[in-house]
Structures are given as C-alpha cells and as structure tokens.
Amino acid sequence: MRNVSELRDELSKVFTDLEGGAIEPKVATALASLAGKMITSAKVQLDYHAMRKETKQKITFLHSTD
C-alpha cells in the first residue's frame, strides 16, 4: 500500500473479513499489529522533522488523493 488511505481501506477489509469469518482472529491481530507499526514509523518521521523544525518535508505515506 502506498499511503495511509490505502492502509485504512485494507484495515476495513480485514475487519469485514473477520466479522464474516473469512479470516482467523490471529491473522487479523497480526495485520492490525503491522498496520500499527507502519503508523508509528510515520509518526517517528513527523516527530523527527518537527524536532529539526523542518516545515517543508513531505511524507509520501501520509499524503493521499482523498
């Protein structure tokens, strides 16, 4: 996935699949954990740029066409 919007869409599908019994809770948990790590990574990037007072940095993962 290329951005946070796509991540959200994928997590929504995981939730629907979990509700419908199409995937096991263990798999859903692993996917949610991985998504959390991706979001944390983007947050670290944001924090780094904030500490350096860099205001023009673009984090591609956080940009979407929505």
pLDDT score of 36 more than 90: yes
Contacts of residue 35, Cβ cutoff 8 Å, sequence gap at least 6: 7, 10, 11
Percentage of the chain beyond pLDDT 70 is 97
Residues in the chain: 66
Global pTM reads 0.78
- What is the distance between the alpha carbons of residues 46 and 66, in angstroms, rounded to a whole number? 20
Q: Which residue has the tokens 């996935």?
A: 1
* The pLDDT value given to residue 66: 59
Mean pLDDT across the stretch 3-17? 94
Q: Are 6 and 37 in contact (CB under 8 A)?
A: no
pLDDT score of 55 more than 90: no
Percentage of the chain beyond pLDDT 90 is 64
